Structure 1
Amino acid sequence: MTDEVQVGRYTVGEGHPVYVIGEIGLNHNGDVDIAKKLIDVASLAGAQAVKFQKRTPAISTPEHMKQVPRETPWGTMTYLEYRYRVEFEQEQYAEIGAYADSKGLDWFASPWDEPSVDFLEEMDTVAYKVASASVTDLGLLGKLKDTGKPVILSTGMSTIEQIDRAVEVLGTDHLVMLHATSTYPLPPEEANLLMIPTLKERYGVPVGYSGHEPGLQISLAAVALGAVAVERHITLDRAMWGSDHAASLEPHGLMSLVRDIRIVGTAMGDGVKRVFPGELAPLSKLRRIDG
């Protein structure tokens, strides 16, 4: 068990600035230029990391979905063909990884299958993110454990018993957990933010929040409840084509979120009651009886 985890350039844990991850995912729509623009957005907003998703589509696409027709900007194609169309390969990852690095951002990805772990190891990513859908893929988790790199585990769509099994495989030495509810978009009544202290108490690791809500309030409340990392999907325009854009933050939204996270972080204090310098003048003016 550990109170903090080193992820790339940054330390994630209590007493450190909240680690803000701009989840690009597939919102680049298979376009390196869009990916770079989203990296610019994360950098300008003051985030510390950007995250992508890496798949081997023939393996990670559910069998019943492979031949389902999908309407795309490139015409009608099968879901499997679409998955290949938006997937970045080594050349693209080398380019966007170097670009993120030049902006002072950590970058990593969620591998959705075991060959994708091998791919990302070749790219020397600083950490791994486990998507909520992969919590029960114990083979994948074991392969991530063997890399020795930090793992950020989302906990959406999972029971506590499933999370227990995942943690048994991953261990807790280099683990960060993110409370999540995998509803897109997330309604407030399903946010269940009190899971943040519950996860911290149960597993003894740094705990953050991965959000899919339309606004900022729930993410900020998560920080007030002790979340040491916040991940939010980002997009250039929520009206863009693609499955995650509508549940993402546009550039101004991410800038506002990071600004407000920093304000909340400063406001948390240390829990020790004291009279602050700003109170001295009102104290002298208003208090009649010294105690």
Structure 2
Amino acid sequence: MTTIDSSRATAPVQIGDFQVGPDQDVYVIGEIGINHNGSIETAKQLIDVAAEAGANAVKFQKRTPEISTPKDMRDKIRSTPWGDMTYLDYRYRVEFDEAQYKDLLSYSAERGLHAFASPWDVPSVEFMENLGAVTHKVASASVTDLELLRALAETGKPIILSTGMSTIEQIDTAVETLGTNNLVIMHATSTYPLPAEEANLRMIETLRDRYQVPVGYSGHERGLQISLAAVALGAVTVERHITLDRTMWGSDQAASLEPKGFEALIRDIRILQEALGDGVKRVFPGELAPLSRLRRVDA
């Protein structure tokens, strides 16, 4: 691994107008991904969900299907709401073009949200750069795609790196490729939906100690408890998939949060931030009356 400058260990990373790091508000990302099923109207509804819940950002997935679709998957037939089609045709069916992405990023900005994507191939990096995305996300599936990581590093933008389905050695290589000056790492386990026994939240501390960069959590579990525990363990950003309805068609819908659940998550994250405090022991104003009423012996 490259040598890490320990003086930068806990320095926040600037993403647009938001600082992501210790002692900052948790940066909450609503992962729209492909839960829009190729519908610009559904995508905008999900942006509204994120904005109304109090999120900071929404995230999409951007692919060049003929590059990012594995060769052995391209011709497999998939049953979809639009009929049976090859997996490659399906990948094209759920992609947005440049005009649509411009519309979505503009709409997100109007709602007070950052909007960016996980580029799955090098042309998609250029695509999102041309749109002016404030940051880029590395999907867990792309941790070992060093060509993609080098292209992302060359943008000079802050990078958010998910670490699911990866060994620590693979993460080492990815971090060395990306550099640590403008990096946020996300602990993740890529099981959909995520069972509690695979969450392994103590990795948040392990990643923070190993790479000395801000560390967050990308969750795929049902419910809120694990994401809230991640914040209690120091996660500086939380990403969760969002959906209008978990029964909608699509592979990520079941592991997503519906609008009320996402709103509750963000409400509880903000309460938890306040409750964590600063670790300095003091007598709080609310304790003064009980103190005078209950304590018999002064120190």
Query: TM tier, shorter chain?
Result: over 0.9
Q: Is the 8 Å Cα contact of residues 9 and 106 (structure 1) preserved in structure 2? A: no
Q: Which of 42, 46, 50 is matched with 1:38 structurally?
A: 46
Q: Is the 8 Å Cα contact of residues 47 and 105 (structure 1) preserved in structure 2? A: yes
Identity, % of aligned positions: 70
Please give the alpha-carbon distance, in whole angstroms, between the structure 1 residues aligned to 2:125 and 2:105.
16
1:220 matched residue in structure 2:
228
Following superposition, which runs of at least 4 residues in structure 1 exceed 3 angstroms of deviation?
none
Q: Which of 257, 270, 287 is matched with 2:295 structurally?
A: 287
Please give the alpha-carbon distance, in whole angstroms, between the structure 2 residues aligned to 1:278 and 1:194.
33
Please give the alpha-carbon distance, in whole angstroms, between the structure 2 residues aligned to 1:45 and 1:231.
13
Please give the alpha-carbon distance, in whole angstroms, between the structure 1 residues aligned to 2:91 and 2:63.
8
Q: Which of 69, 78, 87 is matched with 2:77 structurally?
A: 69
The 3-state SS of whatever aligns with 2:103 is: helix
1:133 matched residue in structure 2:
141
Q: Give 1:21-32 correspondences, 5 Å limit.
A: 21-32=29-40
Please give the alpha-carbon distance, in whole angstroms, between the structure 1 residues aligned to 2:266 and 2:296.
42
Code of the aligned partner of 1:144: L
2:263 matched residue in structure 1:
255
Q: Which of 275, 278, 283 is matched with 2:286 structurally?
A: 278
- Alignment coverage as a number of residue pairs: 291
Please give the alpha-carbon distance, in whole angstroms, between the structure 2 residues aligned to 1:8 and 1:152.
13
Code of the aligned partner of 2:249: W
TM-score, L = length of structure 1? 0.99
- 1:226-267 deviations in Å (ceiling 9; x for gaps): 000000000000000011001000000000000000000000
Please give the alpha-carbon distance, in whole angstroms, between the structure 2 residues aligned to 1:278 and 1:197.
33
Offset of 1:9 from its aligned partner?
2.0
Q: Which of 102, 112, 115 is matched with 2:120 structurally?
A: 112
Structure 1, gaps ≥5 residues long: none
Please give the alpha-carbon distance, in whole angstroms, between the structure 2 residues aligned to 1:159 and 1:282.
52
Is 1:243 aligned to residue 259 of structure 2?
A: no
Offset of 1:170 from its aligned partner?
0.4
1:200 matched residue in structure 2:
208
Offset of 1:15 from its aligned partner?
1.2
TM-score, L = length of structure 2? 0.97
Please give the alpha-carbon distance, in whole angstroms, between the structure 1 residues aligned to 2:158 and 2:20.
11
Please give the alpha-carbon distance, in whole angstroms, between the structure 2 residues aligned to 1:122 and 1:183.
32
Please give the alpha-carbon distance, in whole angstroms, between the structure 1 residues aligned to 2:294 and 2:76.
72
